[in-house]
């Protein structure tokens, strides 16, 4: 995957792996989930109001634009959640996934 962000500094930190929508990606220890995601993928999630892709907005926890989910449906704010090795994230709202299963 090609990310939206390019890491220029702090490259000496330990690498950790997480799974985003079923794909294994690398991050650096101490990264927020938003940083890790945007270094690996082009967007954070799809808008719940249409087909638009969202990439976060304020980067500091104020705008509510970076919500992602665990496979169990727990909602996480990507800009304030620190990456944990083995973390699994989905970028589609659980409700939207359930609607697709019902179709």
**Segments forming the whole domain that contains residue 44:** 15-102
| β pairing state of 88-89 and 75-77 | unpaired
Residue at 10 is within a domain: no
In a domain, 98, yes or no: yes
Give yes or no for a contact between 19 and 25, defined as CB atoms under 8 angstroms apart.
yes
Q: E-strand spans in the chain?
A: 15-20, 23-28, 45-46, 53-54, 67-69, 75-77, 88-89
Higher pLDDT, 49 or 51: 51
pTM tops 0.85: no
Q: Is residue 44 part of a domain?
A: yes
Q: Is residue 51, in this structure, part of any structural domain at all?
A: yes
Q: What whole-number distance in Å separates Cα of residue 44 and Cα of residue 55?
A: 5
Instruction: Kindly report, residue by residue over 11-47, the tens digit of the pLDDT.
Output: 788 999 999 989 999 999 999 998 888 888 766 666 6
pLDDT of residue 29: 94
CA distance 87 to 36: 11
Write the CATH number for 30: 3.10.20.740
For the chain, what is the domain count? 1
Residue 3 lies in a domain: no
């Amino acid at each position: 995957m090609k990310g939206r962000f390019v890491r220029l500094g702090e490259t000496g930190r330990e690498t950790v792996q997480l799974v985003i929508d079923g794909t294994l990606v690398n991050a650096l220890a101490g990264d927020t989930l938003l940083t890790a995601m945007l270094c690996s993928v082009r967007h954070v999630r799809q808008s719940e109001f249409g087909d638009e892709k969202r990439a976060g907005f304020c980067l500091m926890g104020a705008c509510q634009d970076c919500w992602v989910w665990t496979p169990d449906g727990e909602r996480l704010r990507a800009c304030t959640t620190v990456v944990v090795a083995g973390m699994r994230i989905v970028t589609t709202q659980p409700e939207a996934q359930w609607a697709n299963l019902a179709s």
